[in-house]
């Protein structure tokens, strides 16, 4: 199996089913974890030296941090609009308690602890539709680069209808060369509806020193350390993905593959 593809496993003692760390990914910035909790179960953690964004994938949880209690989530699945999420500065202890069966994503990146615990309300999430025809996809900007909440973390959800393409034309953000391009590591957490479906993601560089074509199943994570990374959803299967990005600058400035940039003019 490709080192860029991370498959979920059975919940461990803490309910973790996916855990991508900078060490496991072989990079510097992005961390990503999925926790599955039964009704009433708790998850206690502190992200040392790392800020975090808590996104409820399904169900609802009560979060406790900085002496306050917050109600998060409230959707049945990722294919429904996102509920309230929570930003946590680096080193802040937190507890999550599931109100019923729940799945929670914990997105992390380096931080100094300078921020404050803050709810990202559902109505504060920017929504947009990108592309036309079979390149249409629906975006939910939970923690975009226009937000001043985070230090280095970027978080976005995308729903791509079955038979459509996404992250397309192929684009990359692997050069620390602002204002032309920013360097951002990225994870793609994929879910499919119905869940027995599949999608494809290609990760490749101009010189093809990296060129991987990955068959993605429900719950898989794709690592994008560098290069272009388009996604295609199979006919009949809607695709959701949660992107986590971070790098030396909190800017999302990308470059399209010159071979396919003409598509933007259609």
What whole-number distance in Å separates Cα of residue 201 and Cα of residue 213?
Answer: 6
Mean pLDDT for back-to-back runs of 10 residues, the chain (266 residues): 95 96 98 97 96 98 94 96 96 96 98 94 94 95 95 97 96 96 98 98 97 98 98 98 97 96 82
265: its two tokens: 């003019």
Domain boundaries, the chain: 5-265
Q: What is the pLDDT of residue 266?
A: 61
Give the alpha-carbon dihedral of 126, 155, 84, 10, to 10 degrees.
Answer: 140
pTM check: above 0.85: yes
Q: Is 79 exposed, middle or buried (0-12, 13-18, 19+ CB in 10 A)?
A: middle
pLDDT for 259: 95
The pLDDT of residue 9? 97
Smallest CA-to-CA distance from 228 within 179, 142, 165 is with 165
Contact by Cβ (8 Å): 187, 223: yes
> How many Å apart are CA 192 and CA 78, to the nearest integer?
9
DSSP string, 27-75: SSS-EEEEEEE-TT-EEEEE-TTEEEEEEEEEEEEEEEETTEEEEEEEE
pLDDT, residue 1, reads: 83
The domain 5-265 having CATH identifier 2.60.120.10: the answer here is yes
């Amino acid at each position: 199996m490709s080192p860029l593809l991370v498959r979920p496993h059975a919940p461990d003692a803490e309910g973790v089913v996916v855990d991508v760390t900078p060490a496991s990914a072989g990079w510097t910035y992005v961390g990503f974890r999925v926790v599955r909790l039964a009704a009433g179960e708790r998850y206690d953690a502190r992200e040392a030296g790392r800020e975090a964004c808590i996104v409820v994938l399904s169900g609802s949880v009560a979060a406790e941090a900085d002496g306050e209690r917050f109600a998060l989530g409230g959707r049945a699945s990722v294919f429904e609009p996102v509920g309230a999420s929570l930003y946590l500065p680096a080193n802040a202890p937190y507890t999550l308690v599931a109100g019923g069966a729940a799945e929670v994503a914990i997105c992390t990146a380096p931080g100094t602890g300078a921020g404050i615990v803050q709810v990202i309300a559902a109505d504060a999430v920017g929504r947009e539709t990108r592309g036309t025809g079979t390149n249409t996809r629906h975006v939910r900007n939970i923690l975009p680069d226009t937000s001043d909440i985070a230090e280095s973390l970027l978080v976005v959800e995308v729903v791509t209808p079955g038979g459509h393409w996404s992250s397309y034309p192929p684009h990359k953000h692997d050069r620390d060369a602002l204002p032309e391009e920013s360097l951002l590591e990225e994870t793609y957490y994929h879910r499919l509806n119905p869940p027995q479906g599949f999608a494809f993601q290609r990760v490749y560089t101009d010189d093809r020193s990296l060129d991987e074509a990955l068959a993605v199943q429900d719950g898989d994570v794709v690592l994008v350390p560098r290069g272009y990374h388009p996604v295609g959803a199979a006919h009949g299967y809607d695709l959701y993905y949660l992107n986590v990005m971070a790098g030396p600058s909190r800017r999302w400035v990308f470059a399209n593959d010159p071979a396919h940039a003409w598509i933007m003019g259609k």
